Amino acid sequence: MISKRRSFITGIKGKKLSKKEVFFLKKYKPWGVILFSRNISTITQTQKLTSDIKKIFNDKNYPILIDEEGGRVSRLSKFIDNSIFSAEFFGNTYKNNKKKFFIYYDIYIKQISYLLHLLGININNVPVLDVCRKETHKVIGNRSFSSDPYLVSELGKICINKFHENRIATVIKHIPGHGLSKYDTHKNLPIVRENISYLNKVDFYPFKKQKSLLAMTAHIIFSSIDEKNTATHSTKVINIIKKKIGFKNLIMSDDISMRALKFSISKNTTKAFNAGCDLVLHCNGKYNEMLIVAKNSPLLNTFVKKKTSQLLNIIR
């Protein structure tokens, strides 16, 4: 029952569910589960893992997410070598030869989608819509399509549409834009000082008019909007995402355990919900942290249930 689920997405520790994790999933009923390389060794093993998760919820369409961006962010590297197929590669191909781009990108997304379906995964955390600069931290780097916000926007739309055609849902990230960050948010808190007018024209632009069902926040302070809170924890920034950028679907936090967020796991979770995030993401599979996130996550509200039902129109 969707109505019994809670508004968080959890990671798990290993390649199969432990007894504690089975208990946890049954008791706290997260909205979804995210997989990483640590959870994946063979096709058969991954199929059993996703099947076991779905059986707990008696839902063949239960949300299972992954970061399969291509380039250096590839959780499926044991099965497929996507190392040359970064977002930057496709951005450059599009600029230089559109015909070649559409042939390559169509085949690429069909192959990724086929493998995700084979493994029982139905949501891919792409596209990255951050606008790259020379000073952008390498944690983004070639994960970005381009330094041109219009090109990033266009390729984002193509990416989303192609994955939807192949029955895979998407997550645009890192809303409202990570391209001005000079730090890795896994380790440090970046502060972006550009004014709203500039941000709206450049960094916010690629996220406008995108049809992805989900968007992932940036753990970045935009000081011209909110001097104290990261986007994930800022009511002001979340309101801009909903009104100025116009994103009307599910807003999920980036990983709530990243060091850019300076509070306890409990406070990081509640502040994200209070700011307006619909879902909170927790990735590391540490059981004690998972419990804290679960206990501080509300049951799905009417809006999240409605959007979750819309997810079925994409993935089934």
Q: What pLDDT is stored for residue 298 in this prediction?
A: 98
pLDDT digits (tens, 9 = 90+) for 25-38: 999 999 999 999 99
pLDDT digits (tens, 9 = 90+) for 237-260: 999 999 999 999 999 999 999 988
Residue 294 and residue 114: Cα distance in Å, rounded?
A: 32
| Amino acid code (one letter) for 44 | T
Nearest to 294 by CA among 259, 242, 256: 256
User: Hunting for tokens 């996507």 — which residue is that?
Assistant: 82
Q: What pLDDT is stored for residue 138 in this prediction?
A: 82
Lookup: tokens for 193: 């000082």
Which residues does 274 contact at the CB level (< 8 Å), separation at least 6? 235
Residue 90 and residue 293: Cα distance in Å, rounded?
A: 37
How much is the pTM? 0.96
Mean pLDDT, range 160-186, rounded to an integer: 94
The answer to whether 126 and 163 have CB atoms below 8 angstroms apart is yes
| Amino acid code (one letter) for 174 | H
Lookup: tokens for 63: 């949300």
